[in-house]
Amino acid sequence: MLPISQVYSRLKKSQLFKDSFWALLGSSIGKGLALISGIVIARLLGSEAFGEYGLIRNTLTYIAIVSTFGLGYSATKYVAEYVTKHPKQTEALIKRLVQITLITSCSLAILQIIFAKQLAAFIVAPHLEHIIRIYSPLIILNALTTTQIAILSGLKRFKTTAKINCIGGIAIFLFSCIGTYMWALSGAFGALLVAFLIQTIISHREIKKALIMYHSEEKYSITKSDTKSILGFSLPIALQDSLYAVTHWLSTYIIITVSNYHEVGLITAAATWQSIVIFIPAMLKNVMFSYLSSADDHQQLVRKFLLVSFGSTTIPVLVIALLSNYIAAFYGISFDGLNTIIVVMCVAAIIISLGEVYAFELLSTGHSWVVFTSRIIRDMLTLGCSYIILLRIDSDYALVYALIALVAHIVYLFIMRTLYKLHQRTNE
């Protein structure tokens, strides 16, 4: 067994370790502050209003994810490849990626403004029409930030993304506390708008700095065939993002239909803790995808990421499970039963993180349609079982939904691991 000093020396020389460290440092600070601000918002609004907040925020986030047209992943892949193979064209590629994001996100934001009334009616919250309309720019800013972080990850500027995540977390915490206290629900969304605007501006400046070393006096442009290639790779990812958005919309709609916004509030609060558990694998996804897109030994990298994902999720799940009663008490008496839901959704986070490692490996090797099909199976299983079972019970809707989702994620993990093994055998 190697001495600790030798292990530390090896880790210190590893670029993968350094990049992972910076990605995790920024994310831990940003996520921690976002968690605290979420608890503050929940206490100020109460479970029902917090359920409305969570639903609208998730709706805007899902639309923003769809509007990037899959560039949240493919931007990392293509930028990493261009830096290695076509460094002088990197600047032109990044401009094209931002253009695509702006066109799609602006289009969806305009549609949201036009159909705000119908959207509010669909989520059974007609009184929130004005918030949906006023805060539609969140779609554009969220989409831009997603693409910008993906670009910086492709450039392997993980220290920079750590700084941006820290600033974003601080901004969300400060503005959310002040805004929610003074203007309730509207103030909470205003805080998100300001925080995303700050992140977008800083990310833009950092990308410009990073591109100085790739700047060329010669004018390069991305050809139509290159754009088609990018969009062709991004299409199944965009469809996956759309599927993710539609699935979560419909599952929330089912819960609202059979119960009320109180149950949505419970799911929203528990989902925050699920995201905390999964934050290390989630924040390493850009590191993971960047390295897998340019790696020779994929099998060894996959093993490392599986180990990191399992270890980094299992330990916090155990801690949260032990403290679940205390955590639920922080939210207030209107969140009765939250502790059990938190435990179930945090256990699901372990399964999710492992499944995503296999998914990223298949994506990096060009099997995006295979991943898309697998996710359809998972999401249809979740929706179908939720619809059938939730209509036949009269209580604990949020808990039952969390259990259904857990089973669906287990099935998805089994499918992804099987596909990964088949891919390995094919390449041997």
Q: How far is CA 351 from CA 40, 311, 323, 362, 370, in A?
A: 29, 12, 21, 17, 19
Answer yes or no: is 70 within a domain: yes
The helix (run of H) or strand (run of E) holding residue 407 is: helix 397-427
Answer yes or no: is 288 within a domain: yes
Answer yes or no: is 7 within a domain: no
Answer yes or no: is 386 within a domain: yes
Q: Which one, of 49, 66, 55, lies nearest residue 111 by Cα?
A: 66
**pTM of the entire structure?**
0.67
pLDDT above 50 for 1: no
Q: How far apart are CA 421 and CA 383, in angstroms?
A: 28
> Containing domain of residue 334, as a range?
14-427
**232-284 pLDDT per residue, tens:** 777 777 777 777 777 777 887 788 777 777 787 888 888 878 887 887 676 66
Answer yes or no: is 4 within a domain: no
**42-82 pLDDT per residue, tens:** 888 877 787 778 778 877 777 777 777 777 777 887 888 88
3-state SS assignment for residue 22: helix
Q: Which one, of 333, 195, 268, 335, lies nearest residue 35 by Cα?
A: 268
Q: Do the Cβ atoms of 276 and 33 come closer than 8 Å?
A: no
Answer yes or no: is 404 within a domain: yes
Q: How far apart are CA 403 and CA 342, in angstroms?
A: 11
pLDDT category of residue 338 using cuts at 50, 70 and 90:
confident
Q: How far is CA 208 from CA 168, 194, 204, 298, in A?
A: 19, 22, 6, 31
Number of structural domains in the chain: 1
pLDDT above 80 for 93: yes
Answer yes or no: is 27 within a domain: yes
Answer yes or no: is 9 within a domain: no
